[in-house]
Structure 1
Amino acid sequence: MADKINISMVDGYYSPSTVLWLLAEDLTVRQAALLLLNEDPEDYPDAEYPDNHRQVPSGYQAARQVIASALLAKKITGVRAWKTKTAYDPDGLESWQEEIEGDLCANRSTINMESLRAWLASKNVTVEQFAGLSRTSDDFLDREDPSYSPKLAATIAAWRHVKQSPINGLSIKRQLADWLQANSARFWPDGMDSKVTDTFVNEAARIANWDAEGGRPAISDTKNDKSAVDLSERSSANRRTVGPPSTRSFSADLDDEIPF
């Protein structure tokens, strides 16, 4: 059996509108294709029109083809509707809309969502936002959980985001800190975003940083990163000293206790 494929949303979040779409029993091919990409179908009403390709998210044509071909092959259940063209009588006095059989209309063809989920599962493909709404996020993101910790949720979410969408040329710690600075407030209850301090951002970024030994060029920002290192001095030191690779234990980077 082929390895199971897992397609997950960046940061593991579901926008409210996406969740509402997923409650539908049936959706059009266009809507389902956009949801497969974690896009709100309402944002792309003209995805099917060639003149508006600039408004089509990356991957739409592939997602549309996957779903449309499964519907045409009757691998998933739904209602097939064909595109139409204008036909005229020989004299050109009358016209009507004529179906183009085999040319699926993604705006009018509908699919049953449970059927689509089952078909994806048969292909060993798991799409988290399609798998159902019984668990739309991890436990650590559940604010109703008595053990919910906004600091933990923000730190893990930052780790996930940078792991999935790293930026070349910027240190992992800097990317984590930037994401935390911009997004941490949403993990705190309303009115408590003042808890997001520079100390928290720096310490959370340090803990989530898996590249503690370096290895990528870092962009130092002494204003926002109190622990910034002068890379030019480090580079000079390395040129002056030649020796065997460091054997320092990884555990040396760990604090005795988490400082927040």
Structure 2
Amino acid sequence: MMTKIYLTVKIVCALYILYRLWLFLFRRKAEGLWDRLYRWARIIRIMMWRWHKRRITSKAERRKRSTVRNQKKKKEAAAVAPSTYCEVIGKTKSVYIPDPKKAKEPVRSEPLPESDFIGEDDDISADDVDDILEPMDDRDLQELMEPGLSEADPDFSQAMTYDDINNMVAVATGANKDETDTIRAVETLYSIRQSDIYEFILSESDNKDRIERLINERFDENEASHSTPERPEEKTSSFDWSQYV
């Protein structure tokens, strides 16, 4: 029974203490205390945030300085590294001691032949020197500019253009029957009569006899051209010239 009474007294005392504490904390006179505590908490939080920011900045600067310092140390170590770390695969093991005298000479030098030139004579005047160069007159210039001298040698074949080749193939196959084109094709064939192209055209064309007859009629034994050749026949060749032109 005494235990129950003692426990009841303790509970009542605890409730009374809590009631008085409630009144002390939440009465109107204590409202200013809570505002001050909240203001102090905000000030402390801002100060801690600023301190943490300065700490992060200083830590980043220290890390940057240490990185630059390590890079400088690595460069210095690489600059003074011994030659054993820079060996080349397959390098020779022989040691050559160069001769200082031979090192000054060029690699592919050859001795110059001796000359009998004794130098220039300053006492020689302009009158003692033979000057046989004379300006050319108009007659000499006309002789040099004669048309016959600038003409091509008929013994040598001239260059052919694509139009000449196409015209020659068209006349050889019988596709082109124009008189002017025929004359030009015969002259082209005659200019290449000693070449492989001429033999190729004769071997691949079905009109070999006609081509030879046109050349014989166009040029005589003295290689003088006639005025009009024979008109080509209407016979066409079945050979495909487009793959060679």
Rg larger in structure: 2
Please state which structure has a larger fraction of its residues in helix: 2
Same fold (TM over 0.5): no
Please state which structure has a larger fraction of its residues in strand: 1
TM-score category of the 2 structures, normalised to the smaller one: under 0.3
